[in-house]
Amino acid sequence: MKWINRAFMILVFAGTTHAVTGQGKMRFSVHADPQFAWLSSDDKAIDPDGSVFHLQAGLQMDYFFAENYAFSVGFGINNLGGKLYYPDSAAYDSKGDTLWIVPDQHLKMNLQHIDVPLGLKLKTEELGYATFFLQAGFNLMFNINAHVTTEDQSLEKVSIQESVRVFNLGYHVGAGVEYRLGGSTALFGGVRWSSCLLDVTPADAADLTMNAISVNLGILF
């Protein structure tokens, strides 16, 4: 996992460099976002059965190519998942073995990804101390952990990472407000919707996709 640490250090260094040089074209932020995530299915063999509460956290850089328009790139850990109901049996690969889900089973699936969001950010002029923004873009997502827990506890945090797609592509849209504290430092908050374009478990017949609504909270430097 050394390369993960290196990526974080690169973003931290870029933000620190900006603070020192004061060029004004690049801004750096840290965020921690509470979110509700769920899975949707196109197959009657797997029914969505509710959402799970998770947290995603990361770093982001905004490069302003015009006064109110910026390209954004980030790096973070995104925890997703959802609750599912299996009216029929199903199977997953688990550490070289086959993991069977019995009929009439409820389970919770937890998925953890390295998330690299790329997008565009549009801001208004400052009104008092507040600035409003819209953002949209894509998410490059790399799975690093996946496990399931059944409602009856017959399975508890059993890995199914072998059955989960390593790379997924998602998109996000959101809106929020920045409140300037002084200089270039600001607090920000907003709401963001995200969804994935590719099947989470490509080996089975069902098409499972990830979705989330997040409360975007952080500090901007």
Which residues, at least 6 apart from 32, have a Cβ–Cβ distance to it below 8 Å? Answer: 55, 56, 57, 217, 218
pLDDT tens for residues 63-90? 999 999 999 999 999 999 999 999 988 8
Position 211 pLDDT exceeds 70? yes
13: left (phi over 0), alpha (psi -120 to 50) or beta: alpha
Which residues form the domain of 60? 2-220
- The 3-state DSSP composition of the chain as helix, strand, coil percent (nearest 5) reads 10, 65, 25
pLDDT tens for residues 160-205? 999 999 999 999 999 999 999 988 899 999 999 999 999 999 988 7
Of 39, 17, 220, the closest CA to residue 131 belongs to: 220
* Torsion of Cα atoms, 65 then 129 then 192 then 120, to 10°: -10
Report the C-alpha gap between 101 and 29 in whole angstroms.
Answer: 42
- Positive or negative CA dihedral for 164, 169, 172, 178? positive
Quote the number of domains for the chain: 1
**Rounded CA Rg of the chain:** 20
Of 59, 68, 70, 56, the closest CA to residue 26 belongs to: 70
The CATH number of whichever domain residue 127 belongs to comes to 2.40.160.20
Tally of CB atoms within 10 A around 204: 16
Residue 73 identity (one-letter amino acid): V
Report the C-alpha gap between 123 and 10 in whole angstroms.
Answer: 26
pTM: 0.85
